[in-house]
Copies of this chain bind each other. A is one copy, B any other.
Amino acid sequence: MNCGEGIDSRQIDELFINLDPIQAGGRLTTDAMKAVLAYGDGYSVCDHCTKPFRLDHISKPPLAEFHRDLASFLNMDVARLVPGARRGFQAVASAMVKPGDPVLLTAYSHYTEFLSVEQSKGTAFEIPADESHIITPDAAAARIEEVIKTTGKTPALMFIEQVDYQYGNQHPVSDLSKVAHQYDIPVLCNGAYTIGIMDVNGKELGADFLVGSGHKSMAAPAPSGVLATTSEWAEKVFRTTGIKGDLTGRTFGVKEVEMMGCTLMGVTSVGMMASFPHVKRRVKEFDAQVQYVNRIVDALLTIEGTKVQSEYPRKHTLTRMNTTDSFDTVAKTHKKKGFFLTSALRERGIAGILPGSTRVWKFNSYGITSEQADYIAESFIEIAEKEGLVCSR
């Protein structure tokens, strides 16, 4: 079946256990599917938009309440919906970074964080990771000192990933924020892999800005996300427009400059909102998900030569493996070459790992059941044994 000329229907999450690193937390809930159908039309949330004419004031559907709930869920003071976490980074960088300002990122910052700095014409300085692939407060302090010394300026902003996209490691955001705040550097915590997956408490993290992704981790359609901040910074990043039509005298009410006015006027905001009650529940069940991923990693580690490059035991479901000395040795002589592994997984109903990967690869098991965890673990071992690799179980 197709859904339009040349567009095949997508059924990956119906037919497979999907371990894609970026897709696991963005699968819609049933309520979101219903919402997507009911609110698919363009400006579908604008039926009851009245003064002061802004998305976060609409009460039917209950977007105003949703905005308040989101802020409270994150333990922040104010929240806005944005078209993806990247647009949250962009808004904050645009408000905070002046051309030439030094900006701190980390060795694991996402490309969109870098782009936001580039667009604001800031200069990027990375905080290095330690040998365990963790960004430490000591490294942050050292880098801050160095940047201040070499540039003569205090960094305008510090980006920290709560869980990074490369290793899925949890970084000590709260301690990192303390260091930054000693230098009066505001902190943007990137929660793209955590908000909607784990319990995230912005104030405890010391975040001045907290950014989440709807389509990555909040079971919402793309592009969607959240930018939350404190009362202190809200006036800056959510400042309302001051521009005026010089002849007509027109002004533009309470529209917020960095938001470009309203942001998600239909399927994206309602999808996010419909999933939200489920998201609030599922963050309480993250421990089980961590157990499952560790079960899979433990199984993989029984295959001789296999290493886990992420911190271990795992604290998050996004995980980076190194099978150069196990699966990749098979690939060298296998008739399917590097594709044998993902192909064998696919035959077993498991998808989402980059096809052809046998050296360093990532998977994300978020959202699976206990039975599926066992099945995935067993599948890896089965494939390894079938290809003559030694397994120590």
A residues lining the B interface (CB < 8 Å)? 3-13, 20, 22-23, 25-28, 31-44, 46-47, 60-62, 65, 83-84, 86-87, 89-90, 94, 105, 107, 109, 111-112, 114-119, 124-126, 128, 214-216, 219-223, 241-248, 250, 252-253, 255, 257-258, 260-261, 263-268, 270-271, 273-277
Contact = CB atoms under 8 A, between A and B. Distances in A.
Contacts of A253: 111
Contacts of A61: 6-8, 10
Contact of A221 (B41, B241, B275): B41
Contacts of A264: 222-223
Nearest to A217: B42
A137 B115 CA distance: 38
Contact of A223 (B4, B40, B90, B263): B263
Contacts of A13: 41
Nearest to A29: B4
A60 B8 contact: yes
Contacts of A6: 61-62, 65
A49 to B, nearest CB: 10
A18 B246 CA distance: 35
A61 B219 CA distance: 21
A32 B40 contact: yes
A126 B246 contact: yes
Contact of A31 (B3, B261, B273): B3
Q: Considering the complex of A and B, which 5 residue pairs feature the smallest CB-CB distances, nearest first? A: A26-B42, A4-B274, A42-B215, A3-B34, A222-B266
A36 B35 contact: no
Given A241-B115, A244-B124, A215 B266 contact: yes
Copies in the complex: 2
A181 to B, nearest CB: 23
Given A28-B41, A124-B246, A260-B86, A111 B241 contact: yes
A36 B37 contact: yes
A16 B55 CA distance: 23
Contact of A255 (B31, B115, B241): B115
A42 B60 contact: no
B41 A27 contact: yes
11 contacts: A6-B61, A9-B38, A10-B44, A11-B38, A27-B42, A28-B40, A83-B87, A115-B255, A126-B248, A221-B266, A222-B266
A47 B220 contact: no
B12 A47 contact: yes
A242 B42 contact: no
A243 B40 contact: no
Nearest to A48: B355
Nearest to A14: B38
A114 B4 contact: no
Given A60-B8, A267-B267, A128 B41 contact: no
B3 A268 contact: no
A224 to B, nearest CB: 8
A265 B192 CA distance: 15
Contact of A7 (B62, B111, B260): B62
Contacts of A20: 43, 46-47
A255 B357 CA distance: 23
B33 A40 contact: yes
